[in-house]
Amino acid sequence: MKTKLIISAILIFAASFMGSASAPKRMLTMYDQLGRKLMMPVKAEEEAEVFPFDSKMEFNRYRSSEVNRTFDLSGITKPEAEINDIPCDLGNIFMQTTK
């Protein structure tokens, strides 16, 4: 029950800070636990610049090149020794049955 109360209080405080910060050309004022006052000017967000290319397509191209990259580990690994498919003992058995 206490956690619901604490979470509700945090949400109310956060909403009050965001509400006062949303107005342009104002000062955002916050107080810490020791009673010190922090004032920050609030600046309206400006529109971001438009890229001269399709950013989503470029992101997908870069991501696919990263995902599909192959690693050549032949320089740092030893080549595997050739494996005889039939062990020595079985080879002798096959030779005896065919005679």
On the question of pLDDT at 24 being above 60, the answer is no
- The percent helix, strand, coil of the chain (3-state, each to 5) is 45, 10, 45
Question: What single string gives the DSSP state of each residue in 52-79?
Answer: SS-HHHHHHHHHHHHHT-----TTTSPP
pTM of the model: 0.26
Q: Where are the alpha helices (DSSP H) in the chain?
A: 2-21, 55-67, 88-98
Residue 94 lies in a domain: no
Residue 96 lies in a domain: no
Tens digit of each residue's pLDDT (9 = 90 or more) over 80-97: 777 766 666 666 676 665
Range(s) of the domain holding residue 7: 1-67
Tens digit of each residue's pLDDT (9 = 90 or more) over 52-78: 778 888 889 999 988 888 888 888 888
Indicate the number of domains in the chain.
1
Residue 48 lies in a domain: yes
Q: Is 35 left (phi over 0), alpha (psi -120 to 50) or beta?
A: left
Which residues, listed in sequence order, are joined to residue 40 by a DSSP beta bridge?
28
Residue 90 lies in a domain: no
Residue 78 lies in a domain: no
